[in-house]
Homo-oligomer: A and B are copies of this chain.
């Protein structure tokens, strides 16, 4: 019933979005903020407190905290083009704009009843949220959070589909998948009040998440309802979906799946993609020219995030329960696991510094974020953060597909 009451609240929210007043964070102070570069900053989600810990990756320490963000149990973040503002998409349908320099909330809207993420256009002008209920995407002015468009994700029967796998494309376009409608949509928001939507139908049953390759060329949706994945080559003159990796999926798996892996964790490096096998203690290696599987690497549990260090030399892997106290490091040239570390209990997320010298790892049940040197695997710092989950550094502003 809680879901439903959220939904009722959310139904009215879009009308309020345009005139939403700024909400002060309880942690905001009156002293003038220090002059700071923002290239080495980031936020850590405190999932239980509904707060952000603000961090500095040069000093490897917390620099502040912002509260009042609501339900952050499955939150994600994108950053403004200047790396000053964090847009936080809460599970409860809230979209919150946080000023990292002033350490306060500047704008906040309840824009849906149940939401799982968002994206920002390359020019920084548009922020888009993807929603489960009511199903669709909403386009906001990034400076004011004014609602510019509400694009329902419609099924042939007129009902709304849940939306997953949203990513930004060039020229103020956004791509996303319809869980209930076997479709991938591309919304051209170059005129954000009159978006044009192109739908690729029949892409496969129940796309549950998707990713965009780092160069923005390939959009790949995982299918919950059947084996394999749907892939779109966005550089084609007329993009269409085709099926790849027919053996990838839930259908033929004998193992129980403790947690569906995040497709966004996929590592792509050196012409290979490294992806979590579903239910198996393996990382799959795929040739990104042919999209055929070329190898499997045994690992310590069911992989959740499989992430490439920015140089592609290493791939770091974390695991679902019961193996989520470990992280493994794969050396990509040899395809071997070269190290296993134990950062703490309940490792939920990892984030590399932009040039890859360090990795930050959230250990929820230890209330710790652990920072490691990726070359030596020595612990460089340990930050006290309440139940940390997602870690997001401002450098994401400068990459597509986040």
Closest CB in chain B relative to A205 CB, distance in Å: 31
Q: How close is A36's CB to chain B, nearest CB, in angstroms?
A: 7
Evaluate contact between A311 and B38: CB separation under 8 angstroms: no
Q: Is there a chain B Cβ closer than 8 Å to A156's Cβ? A: no
Residues from chain B with Cβ under 8 Å of A170 in the complex: 311, 355-357, 375
Given contacts A171-B375, A235-B333, contact A37 B85 (CB under 8 A): yes
Note all chain B residues with C-beta closer than 8 A to A80.
37, 39
Which stretch, A69-77, A193-201, A391-399, touches the partner chain B? A391-399
Chain B contacts for A399, CB-based, 8 A: 354-355
Q: How near does chain B come to A238, taking the closest CB pair, in angstroms?
A: 14
Q: How far is the CA of A269 from the CA of B214 in the complex (A)?
A: 11
Number of interface residues of A (CB under 8 A): 50
Highest count of chain B CB atoms <10 Å: which of A33, A41, A270, A311: A311
Partner of A216, one of B100, B101, B171, B311: B311
Q: Which B-chain residue is minimally distant from A399 (CB atoms)? A: B355
Whether A82 is near chain B, meaning CB under 8 Å from some CB there, is yes
Residues B122 and A357 in contact, CB atoms below 8 Å apart? yes
Whether B357 pairs with A40 at a CB distance below 8 angstroms is no
Pick from B38, B57, B355, B375: contact of A37, CB under 8 Å: B38
Judged by a CB distance under 8 angstroms, whether A83 is at the interface is yes
Q: By CB atoms of chain B within 10 A, which of A37, A102, A215 has the most? A: A37
18 contacts between A and B (CB under 8 A): A35-B35, A36-B82, A37-B85, A39-B83, A39-B394, A40-B81, A40-B124, A41-B82, A58-B81, A58-B124, A83-B83, A170-B311, A171-B375, A216-B311, A217-B313, A355-B399, A395-B398, A398-B398
Q: A39-B398, A170-B311 are in contact. List 19 more A-B contacts (CB 8 A).
A: A33-B35, A35-B35, A35-B102, A36-B82, A37-B82, A37-B85, A37-B100, A38-B38, A39-B394, A122-B357, A170-B375, A215-B313, A235-B313, A235-B333, A271-B271, A311-B400, A354-B399, A355-B398, A355-B399
